[in-house]
């Protein structure tokens, strides 16, 4: 898990997984207790980067056939555009 903060410092999220799809969309899976999703659940809360950048829920089962990269080791992953990793 790594914390990522937007450039204005108003939002900090706990990222638990990073996914890249064949179309190069990126998903930062978020550990969000308020959404009440279990870490191993199919439905997860994520920050998605594609045509737009937005928060929302995703189905890991629906994404699975299109995944080209998936990791929980976030040390080598760049933060989302206009975000930074924080301690």
Considering the domain boundaries, does residue 78 fall inside one?
Answer: no
Q: State the Cα torsion 84-35-33-16 to the nearest 10°.
A: -40
The per-residue pLDDT string of the chain (87 residues; one tens digit each, 9 = 90 and over) reads: 999 999 999 999 999 999 999 999 999 999 977 666 666 689 999 999 999 999 999 999 999 999 999 999 999 999 999 999 999
Considering the domain boundaries, does residue 22 fall inside one?
Answer: yes
In terms of residue numbers, what domain contains 46?
Answer: 1-58
Considering the domain boundaries, does residue 79 fall inside one?
Answer: no
Considering the domain boundaries, does residue 65 fall inside one?
Answer: no
> Of 31, 24, 19, nearest to 64 (Cα)?
19
The pTM for the full model equals 0.91
**How deeply is 51 buried, as exposed, middle or buried, from its count of CB atoms within 10 A (0-12, 13-18, 19+)?**
exposed
Which residue is it, tokens 């829920």? 57
The domain total for the chain is: 1
Considering the domain boundaries, does residue 73 fall inside one?
Answer: no
pLDDT the model gives residue 37? 62
Please provide residue 33's backbone torsions phi and psi, each rounded to the nearest 5 degrees.
-60, -30
Considering the domain boundaries, does residue 5 fall inside one?
Answer: yes
Tokens standing for residue 60: 């890991």
Counting runs of H as helices and runs of E as strands, what totals does the chain give?
1, 7
pLDDT the model gives residue 38? 64
Considering the domain boundaries, does residue 31 fall inside one?
Answer: yes
């Amino acid at each position: 898990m790594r914390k990522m903060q937007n450039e204005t410092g108003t939002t900090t999220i706990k990222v638990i997984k990073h996914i890249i799809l064949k179309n190069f969309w990126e998903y930062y899976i978020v550990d969000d207790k308020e959404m009440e999703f279990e870490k191993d659940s199919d439905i997860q809360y994520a920050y998605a980067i594609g045509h737009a950048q937005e928060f929302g829920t995703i189905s890991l089962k629906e994404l699975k056939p299109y995944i080209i990269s998936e990791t929980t080791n976030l040390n080598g992953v760049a933060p989302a555009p206009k975000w930074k990793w924080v301690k």
